[in-house]
């Protein structure tokens, strides 16, 4: 029991240190960009592969339901990772590198926001959707880990967790998603009190 307790404490300390050493200014900028997009009735599209896809899908749950319950705002938020039929059709018939790009070409326009989650920041399908967003002047928020890769360099707002561990990177991204959400809810409540 002592071994697992020690491991848990070290793991949690590692996550908290990585988050606190990330760019918290950019975290606030990203939260504000999400709020601006919601207020201007733009749509938010989130995507990622593997564990990052789960975080993308969780964004939809929390912003669509919890954020809406706690505020008077109605976000339009969608995960490009969520439609298994579309993802498998595009990857089988076209190319897996295009699974997010292909959807974004049909859905996204300038008033929207694309949130991209990738530990490596270098997955080809991540690069493709990011290039599309840049070319079409669609704002992007990138959550990256490891050295950040292409996503860290090219996102409009980059939130980078300098961790060479998928678990710590993904856990940190997930925690930061919840922090964004709850920070925005508290900010909206406080602005109403004034």
pLDDT digits (tens, 9 = 90+) for 126-137: 999 999 999 999
Q: For residue range 25-69, what is the model confidence (pLDDT) as tens digits?
A: 999 999 999 999 999 999 999 999 999 999 999 999 999 999 999
- What is the C-alpha to C-alpha distance for residues 62 and 105, in angstroms, rounded to an integer? 25
| Residue 76 token pair | 């339009």
Q: What is the pTM of this model?
A: 0.96
Q: Are 128 and 102 contacting, i.e. CB atoms less than 8 angstroms apart?
A: no
Distance of CA 83 to the CA centre of its chain: 17
- Three-state SS for 141? strand
Task: Supply the DSSP symbol for 72.
Answer: S
Sheet hosting strand 157-160, strand order edge to edge: 76-79, 43-48, 113-118, 139-144, 157-160
Please compute the mean of the pLDDT values over residues 109-114 and round it to a whole number: 97
Query: 193 versus 186: which is more confidently predicted?
Result: 186
Residue partners of 144: CB distance under 8 A and separation at least 6: 118, 119, 120, 121, 151, 152, 155, 158, 159, 160, 161, 169
Residue 84: enclosing H or E segment and its boundaries? helix 84-93
Could you say which of 3.40.50.300, 3.20.20.105, 1.10.10.10, 3.40.50.10490 is the CATH number of the domain covering 2-193?
A: 3.40.50.10490
Residue 191 confidence class, pLDDT cut points 50, 70, 90: confident
Query: Is the pLDDT reported for residue 194 higher than 70?
Result: no
Distance of CA 150 to the CA centre of its chain: 15
Q: Give the pLDDT of residue 126.
A: 98
Query: Is the pLDDT reported for residue 72 higher than 70?
Result: yes
| Residue 3 token pair | 């071994």
Q: Give the pLDDT of residue 1.
A: 73
The number of residues in the chain equals 194
Q: Give the pLDDT of residue 133.
A: 98
Residue partners of 8: CB distance under 8 A and separation at least 6: none
> How many CA atoms does the CB half-sphere of 192 hold within 13 Å?
9
Measured over the CA atoms of residue 68, residue 181, residue 77 and residue 26, the dihedral's sign is positive
Residue 23 confidence class, pLDDT cut points 50, 70, 90: confident
């Amino acid at each position: 029991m002592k071994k697992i307790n020690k491991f848990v404490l070290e793991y949690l300390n590692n996550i908290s240190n990585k988050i606190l050493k990330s760019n918290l200014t950019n975290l606030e900028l990203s939260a504000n960009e999400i709020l601006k997009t919601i207020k201007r009735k733009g749509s938010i599209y989130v995507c990622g592969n593997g564990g990052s896809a789960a975080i993308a899908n969780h964004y939809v749950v929390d912003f669509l339901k919890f954020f809406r319950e706690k505020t008077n705002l109605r976000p339009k938020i969608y995960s490009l990772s969520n439609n298994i039929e579309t993802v498998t059709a595009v990857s089988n018939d076209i190319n897996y590198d295009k699974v997010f790009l292909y959807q974004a070409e049909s859905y996204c326009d300038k008033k929207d926001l694309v949130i991209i989650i990738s530990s490596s920041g270098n997955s080809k399908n991540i690069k493709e959707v990011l290039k599309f967003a840049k070319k079409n002047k669609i704002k992007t928020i990138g959550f990256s880990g490891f050295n950040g890769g292409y996503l860290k360099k090219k996102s409009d707002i980059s939130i980078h967790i300098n961790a060479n561990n998928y678990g710590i990177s993904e856990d940190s991204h997930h925690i930061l998603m919840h922090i964004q959400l709850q920070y925005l809810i508290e900010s909206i409540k406080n602005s109403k009190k004034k």
